Amino acid sequence: MSEQPRAVLVRPGEVVVEQEPVPEPGPGQVLIDVAAVGVCGSDVHYFDHGRIADFVVTEPLVLGHEASGVIRALGPGVTDRAIGQRVALEPQQTCGRCRECLTGRYNLCPEVEFFATPPVHGAFARSVVLAAHRAHPVPDSLSDEAAALIEPLSVGVWANQKAGVQPGDRVLITGAGPVGLLCADVARARGAALVAVSDTNPYRLGVAAERGAGQVIDAAEGPLRDRLDSVDVIIECSGATPAVRSAFEVAAPAARVVLVGLGAATMELPVADIQIKELVVTGTFRYANCYPAAIALAASGAVDLDGLVTGRFGLDQVAEALLATRTDPHSLKPIVHPGR
Amino acid sequence: MSEQPRAVLVRPGEVVVEQEPVPEPGPGQVLIDVAAVGVCGSDVHYFDHGRIADFVVTEPLVLGHEASGVIRALGPGVTDRAIGQRVALEPQQTCGRCRECLTGRYNLCPEVEFFATPPVHGAFARSVVLAAHRAHPVPDSLSDEAAALIEPLSVGVWANQKAGVQPGDRVLITGAGPVGLLCADVARARGAALVAVSDTNPYRLGVAAERGAGQVIDAAEGPLRDRLDSVDVIIECSGATPAVRSAFEVAAPAARVVLVGLGAATMELPVADIQIKELVVTGTFRYANCYPAAIALAASGAVDLDGLVTGRFGLDQVAEALLATRTDPHSLKPIVHPGR
Amino acid sequence: MSEQPRAVLVRPGEVVVEQEPVPEPGPGQVLIDVAAVGVCGSDVHYFDHGRIADFVVTEPLVLGHEASGVIRALGPGVTDRAIGQRVALEPQQTCGRCRECLTGRYNLCPEVEFFATPPVHGAFARSVVLAAHRAHPVPDSLSDEAAALIEPLSVGVWANQKAGVQPGDRVLITGAGPVGLLCADVARARGAALVAVSDTNPYRLGVAAERGAGQVIDAAEGPLRDRLDSVDVIIECSGATPAVRSAFEVAAPAARVVLVGLGAATMELPVADIQIKELVVTGTFRYANCYPAAIALAASGAVDLDGLVTGRFGLDQVAEALLATRTDPHSLKPIVHPGR
Amino acid sequence: MSEQPRAVLVRPGEVVVEQEPVPEPGPGQVLIDVAAVGVCGSDVHYFDHGRIADFVVTEPLVLGHEASGVIRALGPGVTDRAIGQRVALEPQQTCGRCRECLTGRYNLCPEVEFFATPPVHGAFARSVVLAAHRAHPVPDSLSDEAAALIEPLSVGVWANQKAGVQPGDRVLITGAGPVGLLCADVARARGAALVAVSDTNPYRLGVAAERGAGQVIDAAEGPLRDRLDSVDVIIECSGATPAVRSAFEVAAPAARVVLVGLGAATMELPVADIQIKELVVTGTFRYANCYPAAIALAASGAVDLDGLVTGRFGLDQVAEALLATRTDPHSLKPIVHPGR
């Protein structure tokens, strides 16, 4: 049995490359050689703290869930995928039998297993297995890195779908990290009349403007209500309580508010505003059924994924990749290439 | 010009009957002899405090907005109403030109004028004028009192519509005051699989059970999660922060939470739950386009309105009617009959 | 290996009871002793003609897809069902991987296998196997026959859900066969303001009236527009082209039209009306995710299923049961009890 | 009282310029100097035949309903518009009191009055009056001609909204006239994965391709199913029965079909497909609440309106403008400038 390397978080702050047997694809699964893996804030959080909320790393864990690759082997019964096919990995496995799965919101499946969420290993490895139908073929026009970033783009697709963004809508995105930027891109691709992006980081606001945001707002300079007319949609990507509060102040009647950024478990929300304006407030937990749309948006050029990449690392540099966002103030999306 | 009596709140705690000229219906309006007016908690709040949030009574104000009556005169151009017609009054006037009006959510019209909300007078009067299309004909099978209570029933219709209650749904109503009871009734009439009602008042829970609630829960005895499986819909009618928190704990994935009861302007809400379960949280501000459905529900017997009535008062007893909920622990809905 | 009897359609018009090995439940499946099976019009059609549209019976076929039973054995891995549990059988198996399955409309799965649709055997047998999650537990208050009729009730639940029936809606059901009657029942249970039922069979109209239809209309006496004001919802259950045309004439602006009854493959539809009134026309293909709601509606008494039963037959009387609707003009729903 | 010219259709095929008193804006209205008016197929149809379906020209009629202009005077009570403001005219007046108006679908108001639909005069005149809230301000970046074409763009906005086009959707537009082209533009602006356009006119297909359609299909060369994989959305803009049938053949499960093009009053539709695939079929009648979105799409450059203009005419050349589509095979959108 052949072996392959993978990068394992053995304790907070320490990642080691170890050898493991190459996994075998089971029935309905494929084996994928991993081409590129984006570093997500949640990876960094596990690296730093060994936990996110109730998800605790108690055993060595492979991080990384934004991945692309090439199909290398087919498990029994797989007929609709081919060896050599380039794919974006939708890194979740769901039961297919519960109410959530059967009604089309499989992301809420109580038995969901998600890459790099303990105890499920992620994609910082030479190859991984995945259900064939979660390995989404990508066109050759998409780079490996862009294909990896279909994952965070799906977060943006889902948030915009929840918000029902459509032409004529004025949209505010709070937080200009990678997810906020991608939410802004998707809002623009859906024809929003205005996409305004707020953050306290001028560099990131500059990136937002370059990517096409119609208005960028330095949230450090005062409340949003002083610089923005009311908006129909708020997509909150900062997780910062002050941002949430400031955003609610500019919500138009019947505005939709989608909470994407993870922050405090509870927040003081303006309940009277929710009532008087009949705001609709919801949140997103990953995504469901978003990969095809995300791939199409990236393939058409409507969303630029390659432009988010700010660093490239080998499998033996995973810790460096994880630290990049702190060491480099201009870092947005470090990419690990396990095969290099 | 003939005169008529009306009951005016001249200062907190003091209502006097005074004479005023009988109003004239303008173009598109009708003059309605008021038959019955329900007392709402908001009337009591204005009576006690002279204000609700930013709505302040600065001049003498006629209270009462849950009203029925008989059309007595038609203003110019009214062709689709007739003198003698019995009607339920939808007590709001809207601009008809703004975005909210044109998109069908006229209750959010920034220029809305609502009975008994300062400075707009209400229905504790011998007769009032109203736009003809807001005077909804009722069948003879509905009593005057039931026709008056079409107004709070519309609140229940609207809340259930926002929640999208349908067969199979497990529904929790928190708060068993008149609005909570009517929300429960409508949920049952929409075919909910379970309608559970919680309150801290055992008497009101008894009423809820008599009206058909499938489960009643004394919220004073501990958290809801100990006595209720997860629910698909929460309609919050208490305005009490502990009730809201306790309710969120039993929300199923993708549950809809509708905040009806007015309470604190801000509340600590479980944002992480909203995200992880993708809950949809919204609020209601009165209602739009609900009278026809409410009238049909009452006329068919699906919702019993007469059974809510717990006291009857003349126009000279308005203060007594307003105080009834405090003086009588079993009071639910006192009714003022201005013509008696 | 023990054997059991089943009733097999060997050629049009001929059903024989034969012995087969008792099936074994595979992983995730259960073995169910069949308690009761309703006869559906599609069973009769296969019996008479050996085909429905492109579905052709080329090999001996067991009919029957409206079934209830008792779990007799659990396949490997089944942990959420128990031997002895009474269940309603949702008689379809879907792939769980295609776009339709993943988005919650598994009834449109291109690989769907449905009981009694060639070449998939149905439930006129002593026992059958089924995916555990498609064996829906029923409360003891439901009779075996009612549990079997959860299947056609699900058709009614789905049609009403597609139509979005809610309080205030005026609903027309065309066709008063078992499905039409159940669609009417569900519309009433959802709080429709009016449920009108049309048919050309006075006996069935009488049944509709007894079950609570607000208006019954003999379609033989002239067009619906002469006897019915405009309606917000049309649920077409007759499959008869004249009924469809007559129904469109009474559609209100923005009315929803749901085509349930199977009839001609193409029909002349009033396209100009669809445009000028912006009608929304759709159809139903079986159902998805409807069993829990159907079970709740039957269990609460909102829909009476036992009252539809008009005959009881043993496994050796399946042909008789299939012929009952023709031999008995008052027949609605014959039931086969394979265990008797 | 001063006078102004207008172009009047006096009988089929004959338009004369006559003088009329300059109209006075009533309460809530504005007087608008007309800057540009697009010629629509319906104008041409009235010019040729004197009728469209049940709408018959019995008295002299001013045609033209795609108009822009400058506000010249304000009627009593108008406070939110200013003299000199450039506006796009939404050419309809609705009652504001009926169910359709109050629920946000005012285009279905039974009392709607629409420009250039007998007996309501249109915009081929020096100036016209309009309700102030239907005079939508446009930014200076929009030309007069583009502002006039906000009207047909609104048709495209409405059709796409009905279809719920969103990223990932494969969209087919049948018919590449001005409305089909604009529907395609809006679908692209909403992020559709594919926008395919079919027509039998190669010139128009070329225009569609130039405007960004992802695939153009000459419908004369055979059925669509031979050249197009299944689509999620069909927006039918040809009114041609063969196009409709060919389109249904490529509808994916649960596809949405929106019938925009006016053609035969009835059509043979594939009812079995609607049922088996659960297609959702609807139509559009003009639009409601679409101008703000249309203006935003044009102002952002997402939709190019100026590029549709193929001819310019004075008020004395209205007949010539109406005939242009027949005399010039490359004509798309002739524009009348009443002030030149």
Tell me the per-residue pLDDT of C146-182, one tens digit each, with 9 for 90 and over: 999 999 999 999 999 999 999 999 999 999 999 999 9
What's the gap in Å between the CA of D283 and the closest CA on chain B? 19
| Record: contact D278-C105, CB cut-off 8 A | yes
Specify the pairing of strand A231-236 against strand A215-218: unpaired
pLDDT tens figures, C211-250? 999 999 999 999 999 999 999 999 999 999 999 999 999 9
Q: Which residues of chain B have pLDDT under 50?
A: none
Q: Which of A28, A98, A104 sits opposite C102 (nearest CB)?
A: A104
Average pLDDT for residues D238-262, to the nearest whole number? 97
Which pLDDT score is estimated for C271? 97
Please check whether residue B168 touches C, CB under 8 A.
yes
Chains that touch C (3 or more CB pairs under 8 A): A, B, D
How far CA C173 is from CA of C149, C308, D136, in Å, comes to 19, 17, 43
C286, C158 Cβ separation under 8 angstroms: yes
Which pLDDT score is estimated for C53? 84
| Record: contact B190-C168, CB cut-off 8 A | no
Which pLDDT score is estimated for C250? 98
| Record: contact C193-B292, CB cut-off 8 A | yes
C262, D272 Cβ separation under 8 angstroms: yes
Which pLDDT score is estimated for A247? 97
Separation between Cα atoms, residue C240 and residue D292, nearest integer Å: 44
Structural tokens at position C321: 């049961």
Specify the pairing of strand C127-131 against strand C251-259: unpaired
Residues near D122 by beta carbon (within 8 Å), at least 6 away in sequence: D37, D43, D61, D62, D63, D64, D65, D67, D91, D115, D116
Average pLDDT for residues D3-12, to the nearest whole number? 97
- What's the pLDDT band for C54 if we cut at 50, 70, 90? confident
| Record: contact A103-C104, CB cut-off 8 A | yes
Average pLDDT for residues D189-216, to the nearest whole number? 98
8-state DSSP, C125:
B
Which pLDDT score is estimated for C340? 82
Please check whether residue A275 touches B, CB under 8 A.
yes
Q: Which of C166, C193, C293 sits opposite B168 (nearest CB)?
A: C293
C112, C65 Cβ separation under 8 angstroms: no
Separation between Cα atoms, residue B177 and residue B44, nearest integer Å: 14
Specify the pairing of strand A29-38 against strand A333-337: antiparallel
Best residue of B169, B190, B289, B303 to probe chain C, by most C CBs closer than 10 Å: B190
Nearest Cα residue to D297 out of D139, D162, D71:
D139
- What's the pLDDT band for D1 if we cut at 50, 70, 90? low
Please check whether residue C157 touches B, CB under 8 A.
yes
| Record: contact C102-A103, CB cut-off 8 A | no
Tokens 């078992």 belong to C178
C314, C321 Cβ separation under 8 angstroms: no
Which pLDDT score is estimated for B121? 98
- What's the pLDDT band for A203 if we cut at 50, 70, 90? very high
C208, C183 Cβ separation under 8 angstroms: no
Nearest Cα residue to C93 out of C74, C77, C109:
C109
Average pLDDT for residues D42-70, to the nearest whole number? 95
Angle (CA) B211 B217 B218, round 5°: 115
What's the gap in Å between the CA of C165 and the closest CA on chain A? 20
Separation between Cα atoms, residue B261 and residue B267, nearest integer Å: 13
Which pLDDT score is estimated for A1? 62
- What's the pLDDT band for A148 if we cut at 50, 70, 90? very high
Tell me the pLDDT of chain D averaged across its residues.
Answer: 97
Chain B residue with CA closest to D102: the answer is B104
Q: Which of C263, C267, C276 sits opposite D269 (nearest CB)?
A: C267
| Record: contact B280-A280, CB cut-off 8 A | yes
Kindly list the residues from chain A whose CB atom is less than 8 angstroms away from the CB atom of residue B259. 271, 274-275
Nearest Cα residue to D173 out of D205, D197, D200:
D197
| Record: contact C168-B293, CB cut-off 8 A | yes
Please check whether residue C10 touches D, CB under 8 A.
no
Chains that touch D (3 or more CB pairs under 8 A): A, B, C
Separation between Cα atoms, residue B26 and residue B17, nearest integer Å: 25
Which pLDDT score is estimated for D212? 97
Average pLDDT for residues C285-313, to the nearest whole number? 98
| Entry pTM | 0.97
Best residue of C101, C274, C290 to probe chain D, by most D CBs closer than 10 Å: C274
Which pLDDT score is estimated for C1? 62
Average pLDDT for residues C312-320, to the nearest whole number? 97
Nearest Cα residue to D100 out of B211, C253, B86:
C253
Q: What is the ipTM of this complex?
A: 0.97
How far CA A322 is from CA of A37, A40, A90, A207, in Å, comes to 11, 8, 21, 21
What's the gap in Å between the CA of A238 and the closest CA on chain B? 13
Please check whether residue D96 touches B, CB under 8 A.
yes
DSSP 3-state of A248: helix
Kindly list the residues from chain C whose CB atom is less than 8 angstroms away from the CB atom of residue D107. 278
What's the gap in Å between the CA of A197 and the closest CA on chain B? 21
- What's the pLDDT band for A54 if we cut at 50, 70, 90? confident
Which pLDDT score is estimated for B1? 62
- What's the pLDDT band for A325 if we cut at 50, 70, 90? confident
Q: Which of A96, A103, A292 sits opposite C289 (nearest CB)?
A: A103
